[in-house]
Amino acid sequence: MAITYEKFHGTGNDFLVCEASAPVENWGAFAVEHCDRETGIEMGDRRGADGVLVLSIAEENRVRMRLYQPDGGTAAMCGNGARCAAGWAVRQARFGVAREANAKERPVSDVSRLETDDFTIDTPAGDRRARVGEETVEIEMGVPTFAPSEIPLAREEPLVQEVVEGYEITAVNTGVPHAVAFVEDVSTTDLDAMAPPIRYSERFPEGANVNVASKTQTGFDQRTFERGVEGETRSCGTGAVAIAAVAKRLGLVEERVQVSPPGGDLDVRVPESGPAILSGPVEFEGRGEVSP
Q: Judge whether 18 counts as a catalytic residue.
A: no
Task: Name the active-site residue from 18, 35, 78, 84.
Answer: 78
Closest residue by Cα to residue 63 from 51, 52, 54: 54
291 backbone dihedrals φ, ψ, rounded to 5°: -75, 150
Q: Are 260 and 272 in contact (CB under 8 A)?
A: no
Integer Cα distance of 163 and 203 in angstroms: 11
Euclidean distance between CA atoms 60 and 71, whole angstroms: 32
Catalytic residue among 18, 35, 84, 236: 236
Beta bridge partners of 223: 212
Q: Which residues are catalytically annotated?
A: 78, 236
